Structure 1
Amino acid sequence: MVRRKSRRKFRMSFSAWRAPALIGLAIFLGFPSVAAYSDLATFLSGINRGGERWRMYLTRSPAGSVHDVDMVFADPVTTGGLDGGAGMTLSDGRRVALTAETKHQGGAPDEDRVTRKLKKGRIVAVSPVTPPKDFSAGSILKRTSFLIGPDFDGADKMAFAKPKIKGKEIEIATAFYRRTPPKPDPGVSPVLAKLVTNREADILATAYVRPEPDYARESPFDSILREDKTGGRFIPDIAPDDHAWAATALPATVFSKEEQTCLAEGIYFEARSESVKGQAAVAQVILNRVRNPTYPKTICGVVYQNKAWRNRCQFSFACDMIRDLIYSRSHWKTAKEVAMAVTAGKVWLPEVGSATHYHATYVKPAWAKTMKRVGQIGLHIFYRTYGGGWS
């Protein structure tokens, strides 16, 4: 009796658990992996409505992407770690990128962010470029051809002048890359080389040869095509305080042998014991008087002015009644070289400027108080007159 009751209870309990057991077995057989239990848990908890784990859809790629289509997975838990590098290539060659749905949320695509009406085309702007101009130096025929046609059959023939730089192309080209020391000034002795302030001598100074252009210091075109406003004559570069008459050319007669002898005598007897610079300063004072309208127009007239008045002439050696003889040939040679260099404009001392007077340091003449002292070289003090310097 007891066994029957126990069997009946067992049958009743087995019938009660038969349906859940079959459902559990079916679920276990249908989802045998760990992911199945996870999906079942999310399905039962309501996190993923409908259990749409493998639902996917295609969206258009943003502008500028290297792939054609985005394959978006709806599950944020499983596919949230996908980055832009995941993807695959379809059979037709198109590329598909695997991205999470959350990466497309919150933000407008590139098409909506770009204001097309404010953008220009791919070619932003095109500005015309001026074609390079051809270089023509001295092509007079080209400049005048549009006015009148050249007559090649006439008596007058047109030809280019022989350039001064022909045969010196290599020298000119290398001068711009290799700085060489300045060449010694032709015609100037070594004792005067340091005093030279002007490479171009007066065109009337036949004692000097015209120096060649220094291509390392100036352009070859400037050295050849340079406009000479002075006509080759030496015009002193005076300072603002100098008298205007000092910026004039000397008369042509100062380059004669007689005039140069008078200037050399003035240098020799007045400053032969001075340095070469001191001798050049005395020569500049004598030539300044030649430029000054109130003095004689010749060097001899300036040096020996009032020589008949004892101790009242312009230069003391000319009226001291002592016979002047030249004993030192070396000093005489230097005096002649200084005379020609200063006359030709090779040497112009700015510290002397337009001074017309000087005296030794061991004397104090009364006229010194009425003039402007400009400087001292050696034992000589130089003065410039006030006003226009007409006295």
Structure 2
Amino acid sequence: MRRNSRSRGKLRLLLQNWSSPALFGVCGWLMSPTVASHADLAALLAGLDQGRENWRMVLTNSPAGSIHQAELTFADPVVTGTIAAGAGMVLPDGRKVAFMAKEKGHEASPDEDRVNRPLKKGRVVAVEKMQPPKDFSAGSILQRTRLLFQPSLDLKDRSAFVKPKIKGKEIQIATNFYKKEPPRLDRGVSPMLAGLVTNTKADVLATAYAPAAPDYARQSPFDSILTDKADDGRFVPQIGPRDHAWAASILPPSVFSAAEQQCLASGIYFEARGETVKGQAAVAQVILNRVRNPAYPKTICGVVYQNEDWRNRCQFSFACDNIKDRVNSQYHWRIAREVAMAVTAGKIWFPQVGSATHYHAVYVRPKWAKTMEKVGRIGLHVFYRTYGGGWS
């Protein structure tokens, strides 16, 4: 019983403490409006009802330089009241704001009174009219013909015909009008020899480089029966001023036989297979120079195996060293055969070697080297030519 009476007393005390604040809160909630009051000037005069956006509306000054007068347009004149003509209000700073209806009528003041004339000034930047030169127009000469009969002494902005200075520059000027094409590689030889080709036209007897069909654009089909030259189409080396005359002679047709090419390839393989392709071609040129030289045998095999029965005293050491010649590298043998045919056909001719008939390795010092003229070195071989053009 005591516990029930105590709980009832606490509940009574709690209701007495919160009853008064709750009553005042409900009364305040009932008295507060649901829409914000039109406390601002725009809502009071224009009759606008935009709720919470009303407090953001203010009157601002016109942009700088504007001549537009300050005005306030009423959205609905019927609701807000009749707007008398010329009605307005004066702001605390002295500015005037006119009251206007939604549909603006004609301005009563003329433009002469509303436009601010005293503030107008002249142009800030001067504008000039661009005109062509005097007595001249595009497409006509007009009075310029008088200069042909009465030349002026004023040399300013004048032109004259000057004789060009092209003497000694004819070739340079002519080549400027033609595109120089890069050198083309000879497709008739293997890629390993293409960079060494010095002659695009091979000997006519070299069937390996014979064209598939005659080129009638460069050669007439009747040249084969009307020609007077028996050796037309044969390769003739272009010798230098210090080379011997016999170097420009034509090789006998027998050099293109299989036996002769076998001997030349053997000389290249056993003498220079360790050299570059250029070094091998230089050795082949020396062998063929001896065939052209009247002091040596007239065949390639005769030159390569000359004095082969003299031990270690023959022209090419592999021919008289009493060692059986065996081809152990088919790759180098194929290169030697291709080099042999290319040099024989005249596709490769080195002016650096020229009419040289002798050579030796750089690691030997033969006695005969002092009696000959040194022409150059390719790889590990030094090349010589005789002074008199004969045997030595």
Q: Distance in 2 between matches of 1:190 and 1:351?
A: 22
Query: Which of structures 1 and 2 has the bigger CA Rg?
Result: 2
Read off the aligned partner of 1:335 and give its amino acid letter.
A
Change (3 A) 1:212 1:276: farther
1:330 aligned partner: 331
Partner residue, 1:62: none
SS at match of 1:195: coil
Q: Residue 387 of structure 1: CA displacement?
A: 1.9
Q: 1:377 and 1:211, CA in 2 relative to 1: closer, same or farther beyond 3 A?
A: farther
Question: Counterparts in 2 of 1:1-391, with a 5 A limit?
Answer: 181-210=182-211, 223-224=218-219, 231-391=232-392
Look up the SS of the partner of 1:374 in the other structure: strand
For 2:318 and 2:257, the matched residues in 1 are separated by 23
Residue deviations 1:209-229 (CA, integer Å, cap 9, x gap): 238999xxxxx97x3469996
The answer to whether the 8 A contact 2:187-2:194 is kept is no
Name the CA distance, whole Å, in 1 between partners of 2:363 and 2:213: 45
Structure 1 residue 315 displacement after superposition: 0.2
Tell me the distance in 2 between the aligned counterparts of 1:228 and 1:342.
27
Distance of 1:378 and 1:179 partners within structure 2 = 32
The C-alpha deviation readout for 1:219-269, integer Å capped at 9, x for no partner, is: x97x34699965000000000000000001100000000000000000000
Gaps of 5+ in 2: 1-176
In structure 1, how many angstroms separate the alpha carbons of the residues matched to 2:212 and 2:198? Answer: 14
- Structure 1 distance, partners of 2:277, 2:214, is 27
TM-score (norm 2): 0.50
8 Å CA contact 1:283, 1:342 repeated in 2: yes
Provide the secondary structure at the position in 1 that maps to 2:290: helix
**Conserved in 2, the CA contact under 8 Å of 1:355 and 1:384?**
yes
Provide the alpha-carbon RMSD of the alignment. 2.5
Displacement of 1:177: 8.0
In 2: Cα distance, 1:179 partner to 1:361 partner: 40
Q: Give the AA of the match of 1:377.
A: I
Corresponding residue number in structure 2 for 1:38: none
CA contact (8 A) 1:293 1:390 kept: no
The answer to whether the 8 Å contact 2:260/2:301 transfers is yes
Q: Letter of the aligned partner of 1:367 in structure 2?
A: W
- Which amino acid in the other structure matches residue 333 of structure 1? R
Q: 1:202, 1:234 within 8 Å by CA — same for their partners in 2?
A: yes
> How far is 1:179 from its partner?
6.5
Cα distance, 1:323 vs structure 2? 1.1
One-letter amino acid of the structure 2 residue matched with residue 192 of structure 1: L
Per-residue deviation, 1:205 = 0.4
> Secondary structure, in 3 states, of the residue corresponding to 2:374?
strand
Q: Identity of counterpart residues, as a percentage?
A: 71
In 2, Cα distance between equivalents of 1:198 and 1:213: 18
Q: Distance in 1 between matches of 2:233 and 2:332?
A: 31
